[in-house]
């Protein structure tokens, strides 16, 4: 999975797929590109609303859905909290400690043998990006 590496690249992708470039979409993309790691819709809305107070949370959710459909972002569930979003150009899996909540970003290569086994044994294709693997980190073990 690729994804855009700049705000302008993301806007070009939206345009190529017939999407509109709105000010709220620009603000949202800026928040995504400026942030490190994973952000919830509520966190992104708070950041956008600093610059554009009239942008509602429902608008943020609609834009997140559209940007994910276009391959600009992906969402993941990191344990028991709300979905988080990050740019698709940095797709990875996640390990989350059930004890302290520490989150570790894991490269796709770690999940390669699991994906291969799931496919060969069960005919099942896994998506290691969508949900976190829960367990215990080194410090909590």
Domains of the chain by start residue, with CATH: 7-89 (1.10.10.10), 93-135 (3.30.1490.190)
Rounded to 5 degrees, φ, ψ at 68 are -70, -40
The predicted structure's pLDDT at residue 1: 42
* CA–CA separation, 18 and 62 (whole Å): 16
The predicted structure's pLDDT at residue 125: 92
- Give pLDDT < 70 ranges for the chain: 1-3, 90-91
The predicted structure's pLDDT at residue 123: 96
**Model pTM score:** 0.74
Q: For residue 67, give the nearest of 94, 39, 95, 93 by alpha carbon.
A: 39
Measure Cα distances from 8 to 32, 51, 64 in Å. Answer: 13, 19, 17
Q: What is the pLDDT of residues 60-81, one digit of tens each?
A: 999 999 998 888 888 888 877 7
Q: For residue 112, give the nearest of 88, 90, 92, 95 by alpha carbon.
A: 92
Q: Which residues pair with 103 in a beta bridge?
A: 96
Q: Mean pLDDT of all residues in the chain?
A: 88
């Amino acid at each position: 999975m690729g994804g855009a590496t700049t705000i302008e690249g993301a806007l070009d992708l939206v345009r190529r797929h017939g999407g509109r470039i709105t000010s709220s979409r620009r603000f949202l993309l800026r928040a995504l590109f400026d942030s490190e790691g994973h952000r919830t819709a509520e966190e992104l809305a708070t950041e956008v609303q600093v610059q554009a107070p009239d942008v509602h949370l429902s608008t943020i959710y609609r834009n997140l859905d559209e940007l994910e459909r276009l391959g600009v972002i992906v969402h993941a569930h990191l344990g028991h909290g709300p979905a988080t979003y990050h740019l698709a150009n940095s797709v990875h899996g996640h390990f989350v400690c059930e004890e302290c909540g520490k989150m570790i970003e894991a490269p796709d290569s770690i999940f390669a043998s699991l994906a291969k086994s799931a496919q060969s044994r069960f005919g099942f294709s896994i998506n290691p990006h969508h949900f976190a693997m829960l367990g215990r980190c080194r410090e909590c073990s």
